[in-house]
Structure 1
Amino acid sequence: MVTDTEGPTVGGTGPIASVVIPAHDEAAVIARTLVALARGVRPDAFEVVVVCNGCTDDTAVVARTIAPLARVIEIPQPSKAEAVRVGNAAASLFPRIHLDADVELTGRDVVALVRAIDQDGLLAAGPRRVQPTAGCARTVRWYYGFWEQLPRVRSGLFGRGAFALSVEGQRRVSELPTMLNDDLGVDTVFAAGEYRIVDEAVVTVRPPRTLRDLLRRRVRVATGNTQAASLGLRAGGGVPLAEVGRTARRSPRLAAQLPIFLGVTLLARIGARRAVRAGDFTSWLRDESSRA
């Protein structure tokens, strides 16, 4: 039995799902991710595969120490796409949970995603996203205060750092071309009714603390949006202006945050132009402040 210490249990014996975690130089945060994953369930509840790709730090050592039952694989290429491929080849169970190494999803939350796949017949499921902005610059807080209220952001699978797939869901995702914004690609292959955001499952995604790091993250997203559009996977380069306008009209608070949201979005698109012109859809501009 997989026991949720604050709720019901899941029947059966042995692992109930595989969890694939690609990790590149994540020694500073992988421990909190793995500790959260073990919370509320027995130690062998999941088949956990951590793929350390191109690491120059102690990510693998930390992962083996914190999660001795996990399978930790090291590959030389610093490539998330290759790490996911290797992790999928090593994993044997469905539902298949894909988890970024810098987010926190508890074992109880994984159980909720597994239930959504197994009991509701969904092809994909994502957790509700929480972004703690305490300690972040005001511009960062205002940007995400607006971004989180966009309907597409609230309902999409992207930007969560975690999602669960059925066998058919994994088949569809595996057929996608390699993309900078891999979660955006995932979001495009499921129709309404085939996936759901599960409110009972919560993932903590730590935002950048500084405007500079926010822009680095958003330049990467803008570059990936352009790539997705060029592949025919998503029309346009982001959220439609009409949706932005409707969101701003919902409250005075959102209207006040609108200039910050638009300013950051514009700067990110300008910053992405160089990568787009060069056809560079592989450089990973991650922020370090969220990993502090």
Structure 2
Amino acid sequence: MTLATILIPAHDEAAVIGRTLWYLSRGLPLGQVRVVVIANGCSDATAARARAALPQALVIETERAGKCHALNLGHAAADPGAPVICLDADLDVTAESLLALLEPVAEGGAMAACGQMDVATADASPAVRTFYVGWRANPYFARGKFGGLFALSPEGAARVFPLPEVTADDEFIRRSFAPGEVAFVPGCRFTARAPLTMASLLRVRRRSLRGARQIARMGKASPERGSARAMLRRALAAPADALPIAFFLLVTLWVRLSLAVDRGAGAARWERDLTTRVPG
């Protein structure tokens, strides 16, 4: 019996894929979980590192770069009767968290499930650390972080796969479900690493907003509404939070303005953070 298939799209992730697989494999019942790494458009040793780190994994290689294409290939190799977990190649998550994430989609009737993301900022610049203090004050995240790591029931996976070619695959999937169809699992925690510099952070935020707008043009409205007003109210009620919240909102505004004046903002570009792609 297969508990789940874990899909890990990886583009030039040789520096980090071993760490990710090491984290998730400790305590994971590998005889019951199918791990599929999709090395897409790689110019490095991502596939070889993945095979060395977890010989039990199925490693698919494709010359075509693209996360949605990679996820579609991985889903085609998944067990059709089991839930699917989508995991970014640069995240740290334990087997315990993954198994907790599976419960609502395997037994509880939820179509999708997400956990709580922690952001490691110790090595980031002071400005980046301030941004993420404000980011954590966003009330939207009280229901978890749908992105980077999430689980889908077999019915939920059938609803969204095959994915269209979009930049914001996580956002497309999240908006394909009503809020009541998504379970928040507090017992599932995973760690992402913050960009080390403001320049890299701004590139990532531009990509995120550009991708969200592409999804909106497809007719999928965002469930995240009123967050800025709620954050302003929190800043007024708790002066200690005012500076990081104000900084977060200013960065968000700057990103919106920069895209407004960028004639190429509608083009498909993947502005990637490379500052955290270091061996670990």
Q: Does 1:285 align with 2:271?
A: yes
Is 1:101 the counterpart of 2:103? The answer is no
With over 3 angstroms needed to count, the CA separation of the structure-2 counterparts of 1:158 and 1:118, relative to structure 1, is closer
Identity %: 39
Using a 3 Å threshold, how does the CA distance of structure 1 residues 195 and 290 change in structure 2: closer, same or farther?
same
Q: Deviations over 1:19-54 (max 9, x none)?
A: 011000000000111001111234434101100000
Structure 1 218/78 Cα, relative in aligned 2: closer, same or farther at 3 Å?
same
* Distance 1:121-1:270 versus aligned 2 partners, 3 A rule: same
Deviation at 1:267, TM superposition (A): 2.4
Q: Is the 8 A contact 1:22 1:80 kept in 2?
A: yes
Structure 1 residues 218-276: Cα deviation after superposition (integer angstroms, max 9, x where no partner): 11112112212222212599865323323423422321112311221122223334666
Q: Does 1:222 align with 2:215?
A: no
**Partner-residue secondary structure (3-state), 2:37:** strand
Q: Secondary structure at the match of 1:290?
A: coil
State the alpha-carbon separation in 1 of the partners of residues 140 and 22 from structure 2.
31
C-alpha distance 187-157 of structure 1, shift in aligned 2 (>3 A): farther
**CA deviation vs aligned residue, 1:40-95 (integer Å, no higher than 9, x gap):** 23443410110000000000000000110110010011111100000000111521
Q: How does 1:97-246 map to 2 (within 5 A)?
A: 97-155=85-143, 157-159=145-147, 161-174=148-161, 177-234=164-221, 240-246=227-233
Could you state the TM-score of these two structures normalised by the residue count of structure 1?
0.87
Q: Secondary structure at the match of 2:120?
A: coil
Match of 2:46?
A: 59
Aligned with 1:69: secondary structure?
A: coil
Deviations 1:101-126 (Å, cap 9, x if unpaired)? 01112111111111122221111111
Query: What TM-score do the two structures reach when normalised by structure 2?
Result: 0.91
Are the structure 2 counterparts of residues 35 and 99 from structure 1 closer, same or farther at C-alpha, using a change threshold of 3 Å? Answer: same
User: What does residue 256 of structure 2 align with?
Assistant: 269
Structure 2: tracts of 5 or more residues without a match: none
Match of 1:89 in 2: 76
- Give the number of aligned pairs: 277
Whole-angstrom CA distance in 1 between matches of 2:225 and 2:273: 20
Equivalents in 2 of 1:140, 1:118: separation in Å? Answer: 38
Name the aligned partner's letter for residue 101 of structure 1. A
Q: Is the 8 A contact 1:95 1:165 kept in 2?
A: yes
Q: Which amino acid aligns with 2:184?
A: I
Cα offset, 1:291, TM superposition: 2.0
SS at match of 2:15: coil
Q: Give structure 1 regions of 4+ aligned residues with deviation exceeding 6 angstroms.
A: 236-239
- CA shift, 1:202, in A, is 1.0
Quickly say closer, same or farther: Cα 1:90–1:235, change in 2 above 3 A: closer
Q: Which protein, 1 or 2, shows the higher relative CO under an 8 Å CA cutoff with sep ≥ 6? A: 2
CA distance in 2, matches of 1:148, 1:276: 31
Out of 173-182 and 251-260, give the one that drifted further: 173-182
How many angstroms apart in 2 are the aligned matches of 1:209 and 1:56? 24
Is there any run of 5+ residues in structure 1 with no aligned partner, and where?
1-13
DSSP-derived class of the 2:69 partner: helix
Partner of 1:21: 8
SS of the equivalent of 1:205 reads strand
Separation of aligned partners in 2, 1:236 and 1:116: 21
Further displaced range: 36-45 or 93-102:
36-45
**1:219 to 1:95, Cα distance in 2 relative to 1, 3 A:** same
